[in-house]
């Protein structure tokens, strides 16, 4: 049986958005260039998670076909991604962070990996041998600490749950997110842990990261993630 060429796939690109008015237009433009050059059919789904800046106004002025979902209050990244996946109509769902820390070209490699394999999910991993990571020492250490806490708490085998690029087969994404409990930063741990418990195949691929814009997870967000992780641990032990 022949494998479909990657560019025959219809991609649903889900972008959770919160207070990124300074970069979201460039994100859409670069994504569109990469996907068009690769001859993909795709839809862009931007889910604004109650932004308090001009993010929505900027998106509404973008001269590119897209779906904009506006949440009236900030409900968390996980909740925003869930709303986007519910509206997705593609063969594959690509969840991509809005801040452009990740080179959009990384999407191509992950889509090819899932198309040429039996994996239901491909996650981008900072620890993949072919990844290119440009970030501060402090941020690298925070990532490593989180990864260790997460592994100790859940026993999950995925090396990197938090990097903001993942590719799901559409039916897998809709199933895993349909009963999501963690609405904020620990939602990816919940989703991937559930995938492992269901015996779904999860692969890891390389990613190119360059921390060029300000942002990221603050102390309060980090503490909330740990609280959410504790709830996941209690639920799954």
Q: Is 211 part of a structural domain of the chain?
A: yes
Tokens representing 228 are 């959410």
Per-position pLDDT tens, the chain of length 237: 334 454 778 999 999 999 999 999 999 999 999 999 999 999 999 999 999 999 999 999 999 999 999 999 999 999 999 999 999 999 999 999 999 999 999 999 999 999 999 999 999 999 999 999 998 878 777 778 877 877 777 788 999 998 999 999 999 999 999 999 888 878 999 999 999 999 999 999 999 998 754 445 554 555 566 666 665 555 656
Q: Rounded to two decimals, what is the model's pTM? A: 0.88
d(CA 67, CA 188): 23
Q: Is 218 part of a structural domain of the chain?
A: yes
Q: Is 36 part of a structural domain of the chain?
A: yes
Q: Is 60 part of a structural domain of the chain?
A: yes
CATH label of the domain that carries residue 184 = 3.90.550.10
How many structural domains comprise the chain?
Answer: 1
- Phi, psi at 31, each rounded to 5°: -60, -45
Q: Is 65 part of a structural domain of the chain?
A: yes
Q: Is 2 part of a structural domain of the chain?
A: no
């Amino acid at each position: 049986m022949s494998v479909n060429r990657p560019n025959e796939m219809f991609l649903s690109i889900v972008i959770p958005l919160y207070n990124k008015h300074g970069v979201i237009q460039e994100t859409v433009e670069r994504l569109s260039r990469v996907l068009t050059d690769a001859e993909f059919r795709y839809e862009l789904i931007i889910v604004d998670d109650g932004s308090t800046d001009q993010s929505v106004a900027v998106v509404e002025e973008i001269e590119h076909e897209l779906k904009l979902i506006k949440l009236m209050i900030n409900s968390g990244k996980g909740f925003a991604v869930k709303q986007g996946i519910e509206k997705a109509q593609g063969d594959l769902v690509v969840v991509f962070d809005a801040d452009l820390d990740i080179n959009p070209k990384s999407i191509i490699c992950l889509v090819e990996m899932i198309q040429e394999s039996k994996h239901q999910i491909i996650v981008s991993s900072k620890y993949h041998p072919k990844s290119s990571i440009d970030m501060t020492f402090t941020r690298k250490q925070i990532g490593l600490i989180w990864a260790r806490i997460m592994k100790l708490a859940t026993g999950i085998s995925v090396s990197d749950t938090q990097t903001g690029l993942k590719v799901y087969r559409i039916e897998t994404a809709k199933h895993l997110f349909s009963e999501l409990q963690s609405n904020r930063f620990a939602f990816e741990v919940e989703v991937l842990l559930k995938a492992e418990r269901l015996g779904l195949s999860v692969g890891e691929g390389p990613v190119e990261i360059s921390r060029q814009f300000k942002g990221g997870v603050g102390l309060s967000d980090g503490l909330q993630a740990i609280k959410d992780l504790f709830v996941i641990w209690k639920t799954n032990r």
